[in-house]
Amino acid sequence: MSISRHVPQRSCIGCRKVTAKGELVRIVATPEGVMVDETGRKNGRGAYICRSMECWEAALKKDRLRRALRTGISVEDKNRVCQYVEKLKEGI
């Protein structure tokens, strides 16, 4: 008899699709600012986004990221996240 492991599920703030936590990118609000959490383990309030450009654009342009993190996003924070998005585009 095989025992299946529980796979945590999270919703993408861009498209609202529920999927496995490991397939999404976590954005976290910390005292140091808003940043991409590639490990998924940093302390702070997090939000999850699919790896598709449509979801990133929706999350950043429609103010969904700010609402999900329940904090203001500074210009530096937004630039940091946008740099990650550019790296993500190169990998696609």
Where does the pLDDT of residue 92 fall: very low under 50, low under 70, confident under 90, or very high at 90 and above? low
Is 1 domain-assigned?
no
Is 81 domain-assigned?
yes
Is 2 domain-assigned?
no
Owning domain of residue 64: 9-91
| pTM recorded for the entire structure | 0.90
Write the single-letter amino acid at 60.
Answer: L
Is 26 domain-assigned?
yes
Which CATH number belongs to the domain containing residue 30 in this structure?
3.30.1230.10
Judge whether residue 88 has pLDDT over 70.
Answer: yes
Where does the pLDDT of residue 86 fall: very low under 50, low under 70, confident under 90, or very high at 90 and above? very high
71 phi and psi angles, rounded to 5 deg: -155, 165
Q: How many domains does the chain have?
A: 1
pLDDT tens digits, 20-68? 999 999 999 999 999 999 898 999 999 999 999 999 999 998 889 999 9
DSSP string, 6-58: P--EEEBTTT--EEEGGGSEEEEEETTEEEEESSS--SSEEEEE-SSHHHHHH
Is 3 domain-assigned?
no
Is 28 domain-assigned?
yes
Is 4 domain-assigned?
no
